[in-house]
Structure 1
Amino acid sequence: MKTFLKVIATLVVLGVVALLAFILVPVQRSAPTEQLAADWQPQPGQGEYVLNASDCVACHTADGGAPLAGGRPIESPMGTIWSTNITPDPETGIGNWSYDDFRAALVDGLAPGGRHLYPAMPYENYRLMKEEDIRALYDYMMAEVPAVKNAVQETSLDFPFNMRFGIRAWNWLALTHAPGFTPADSSEISDRGQYLVEGPGHCAACHSPRSPFMAQDGVTVADDHFLAGGVVGGWNAPALRGSASEIGKWSTGDLATYLATGRNSHSTANGEMGLVVEHSLQHLTDADNIAIAAFLKGIDGDAGEVPQTLAAAGPTALPPAEADAAGADTTAMLTEASPEMPLGARLYLDNCSGCHFVTGKGAPEIFPELAGNSLVTGSETTPLISVILNGAEVPSSAKRPMVLRMQGYGKRLSDSEVAELATFVRTAWGNDAGAVTAADVAAVRKASATH
């Protein structure tokens, strides 16, 4: 009942704010932060590079569809939002958009005619992009991206979210940062990383928490909760700052390697992060992935040794890591394999130890660590359950072309057995996360069957 009353109260407040915004705040486009010269031309390849850095393909390409032709469903707390066709097709895409139209969409969330875009489009972040990058992206989209005629499904949300004028109120509350990039002036490499993270990479869209009004609670490095961790579609987007975070134990080279390849000596990229690596980060230069890593590692401290190239980041293959002090008891129990072992531990030995080993440390760049893994220990249990039931895949990248696949165990294990296994790995090797129930597993299994 309390939750219901909170929802009603929030809707009432939003309604009042929307009415005030509708009356008091005119719909207008932000002025450019800098004027480009009349004869300005982008550098060769600049527009395509910005497209990759901005991860446009992942959202605007449906499974099996033409690149950037839209039609991908994006789940949100408001309902399903269908991504639009952003190829230069004049009828179903953006072929008739002027540069001012395009810039307004990226910076202010406004389509031609003043129609508000839903904030699944991360204009909270894109508004921090440099003017020359926005212009280069527009020129590339219009001149080099093939036009695809593809009328996508219209987004149709339930009341009151179907009233787009209410987004004017949301913008009033959420767009607390003026357009344009403000470097922290830490160093040239860190400032480059900051720009890529805050602007085109829009990392805060997933990795910052959300305010009660679903705005990003932390858009730039100057904000207290910037990249402190979030939840997206039932998946934990882990914190990207602080020594207590998962990446706190990684070197700058480890992190840069993960960004470029989706794998390192500790972890592999799954879910939405796998798409980010596949469609965006692997296409960046080594220097830019190193810059991103150096910036993230330096937010709350020293970035440590910053490699000049990914090849200098360390060896690409290492022997399985030994158990550390936190995992010694679990490792000893699994090694002894006593008949009195609990069911979860026995299931782990039978199904998981061949790849992740009794130490829970896995094999570098192949099988991720389970000890301290944010997917394993996160508040959201759906990802771990889904991986056990359905398996997982790490995409191919230019530097690591081998696709890594983990089989699913949904046909082999019952709901109660998956629950026991998941609970075990969430509490083994020093992990300290809550139990998983058979009902949790049944819900994920049912959702997977209907997906």
Structure 2
Amino acid sequence: MKKMLKGLGAALCVALPFIAQAHADAATASATGAADQTLVQRGAYLAQLGDCAACHTAPKGKPFAGGLPMNTPMGRIYVTNITPDARTGIGGYTQADFARALREGVARDGHNLYPAMPYPSYAKVDDDDVKALYAFFMHGVAPVQQANRESDIKWPLNMRWPLMFWNMAFLEKGAYRDKPGKDVAWNRGAYLVQGLGHCGSCHTPRGVAFQESALDESGSAFLSGALLDGWFASNLTGEHNTGLGRWSDEDLRTFLKTGANRHASAFGAMTSVINNSTQAMSDQDVAAVSTYLKSLPPVGGTGAAAYTYDPQATKVSLDRPANDAGARVYTAYCMHCHGVDGHGFAPMLAPLAGNPNVLAKDASSLINVTLNGTGDLVIDGVPSPFPMPGFAAVLDDQQIADVLSFVRAGWNNGAPAVGAAEVAKLRQSTQAGR
């Protein structure tokens, strides 16, 4: 018996170090797994900040499998599959490959990406966030085998090698660096707006080579509004009439979280941004973005005097709509939602009096949304009860021009009239293929 106990004791002495090591290895593996999952979750949040789903997920398509058509000045391109499928997606990408594509616009096989992929903005994303994004796309996204579709751009414009020279001229490499003299919130906001948020991709005018005219607040054109794919992306500077000059910090934070406030409602491509991106932002990040945007000095606009509300002349026209073609259309189709006073029923139904989109010099967004309506804002899974319907099948070009001219002049808006030819042109470009 003593021999047996002695032998058992000896065996335990031999085994205990291995048992202890096994427990240590299991604990390490568990901690590593938790750390990896935390990284994946952080990457998922960053992918929302970058609104990756909006471009890389086609309507009724699988998440991040690509196929969404995008119009460019050279022709239509189709967004690529960024799921971790090894054959058709990015499953074979190393983290270095992923970082190069994200920040330099160069795919794993060496071909250049079109700058419709906002890599000039993503160039500012720091290494830690790139690592988290890579972890998400490799381990948090389901692989989908879906071949990428070639662009409709004709030769020779479809050649990619000239993009090397485009990058040499317009790509500014290097992650965002905090600006001295600015606080933590301002720098965080600047990082998000200029980088993952890639706000300048839509809201900054582009030059003759389709480059953004400015990539940060040091350029006077930055976020001053731009025409893109049939919509005019609003001025995000402090301009009083067409920008954010009359918006409070609370107004802006409310808009980013819900897509609507007392001044305006999101429509067009911005609907997707609200649905897929900004509503998911943490309160701290929303506040940071608002801090940064509200710091931008006024740029652009129409040069008109600061807007002040005056309903009198419009009320007279609406009292006698037979004398005004635009008033007749407004009374029949618009007044029940937007009101006699032009205030609508904000935030559910957008105001028209003093709305920055109404006051903008370029009326493309107003024409587009009147023709085609807009998608539902879906906040916390609940669709908006009153989305803007399209009137392309109901109103002709002259009627739409009349009513938009009435709205742009009404309630002291003082914006230029709209011509039937403008409506016809946008009707043709937006209705093609429907």
**Which category of TM-score, normalised to the shorter sequence, fits these structures?**
0.7 to 0.9
Structure 1 residue 104 corresponds to structure 2 residue 100:
yes
- What CA distance in whole angstroms lies between the structure 2 residues aligned with 1:62 and 1:247? 32
1:65 to 38, 61, 68: 61
Structure 1 residue 189 corresponds to structure 2 residue 185:
yes
Q: Which residue of 1 aligns with 2:324?
A: 342
Structure 1 residue 199 corresponds to structure 2 residue 195:
yes
- What CA distance in whole angstroms lies between the structure 2 residues aligned with 1:412 and 1:421? 13
- What CA distance in whole angstroms lies between the structure 2 residues aligned with 1:234 and 1:413? 19
Asked if structure 2 preserves the Cα contact closer than 8 Å seen for 1:89 and 1:148, the reply is: yes
CA separation of 1:130 and 1:167: change in aligned 2, threshold 3 A: same
- What CA distance in whole angstroms lies between the structure 2 residues aligned with 1:391 and 1:97? 40
- What CA distance in whole angstroms lies between the structure 1 residues aligned with 2:43 and 2:116? 22
- What CA distance in whole angstroms lies between the structure 2 residues aligned with 1:394 and 1:362? 18
2:112 to 88, 109, 116: 116
Give, in angstroms, the shift of residue 384 of structure 1: 1.8
- What CA distance in whole angstroms lies between the structure 2 residues aligned with 1:276 and 1:291? 17
Q: Which residue of 1 aligns with 2:243?
A: 246
Give, in angstroms, the shift of residue 195 of structure 1: 0.9
- What CA distance in whole angstroms lies between the structure 1 residues aligned with 2:210 and 2:372? 30
1:418 to 389, 393, 400: 400
Give, in angstroms, the shift of residue 231 of structure 1: 1.4
- What CA distance in whole angstroms lies between the structure 2 residues aligned with 1:443 and 1:293? 36
Q: Which residue of 2 aligns with 1:404?
A: 386
CA separation of 1:226 and 1:440: change in aligned 2, threshold 3 A: closer
Q: Which residue of 2 aligns with 1:330?
A: 313
Structure 1 residue 149 corresponds to structure 2 residue 131:
no
Alignment size in residue pairs: 388
Q: Cα deviation per residue 1:360-409 (whole Å; 9 max; x = unaligned)?
A: 12111111121233433434434322322333344111286534322333
Give, in angstroms, the shift of residue 55 of structure 1: 0.8
SS at match of 2:71: strand
Please give the TM-score of this superposition, normalised by the length of structure 1.
Answer: 0.81
Q: Which structure 2 residues correspond to residues 34-433 of structure 1 after superposition, within 5 A?
A: 43=39, 45-175=41-171, 177-185=172-180, 186-244=182-240, 245-300=242-297, 325-334=308-317, 337-338=319-320, 341-398=323-380, 401-433=383-415
Q: Which residues of structure 2 form unaligned runs of 5+? A: 1-34, 299-306
Asked if structure 1 preserves the Cα contact closer than 8 Å seen for 2:309 and 2:354, the reply is: no
Give, in angstroms, the shift of residue 358 of structure 1: 1.8
- Which residue identity does 1:422 align to in structure 2? L
Asked if structure 1 preserves the Cα contact closer than 8 Å seen for 2:370 and 2:391, the reply is: yes
Identity in percent = 38
- What CA distance in whole angstroms lies between the structure 2 residues aligned with 1:287 and 1:295? 12
- What CA distance in whole angstroms lies between the structure 2 residues aligned with 1:156 and 1:351? 38
- Which residue identity does 1:103 align to in structure 2? A
Q: Cα deviation per residue 1:161-216 (whole Å; 9 max; x = unaligned)?
A: 211110011111111x3311122242221211111101100001111111222111
Give, in angstroms, the shift of residue 234 of structure 1: 2.2
SS at match of 1:348: helix
- What CA distance in whole angstroms lies between the structure 2 residues aligned with 1:194 and 1:120? 21
Q: Which residue of 1 aligns with 2:15?
A: none
Q: Cα deviation per residue 1:243-292 (whole Å; 9 max; x = unaligned)?
A: 33432111111111111111111211111111111111111112211211
Structure ID, larger Rg: 2
- Which residue identity does 1:160 align to in structure 2? P
Asked if structure 2 preserves the Cα contact closer than 8 Å seen for 1:61 and 1:71, the reply is: yes
- What CA distance in whole angstroms lies between the structure 2 residues aligned with 1:94 and 1:282? 28
CA separation of 1:296 and 1:98: change in aligned 2, threshold 3 A: same
Q: Which residue of 2 aligns with 1:441?
A: 423
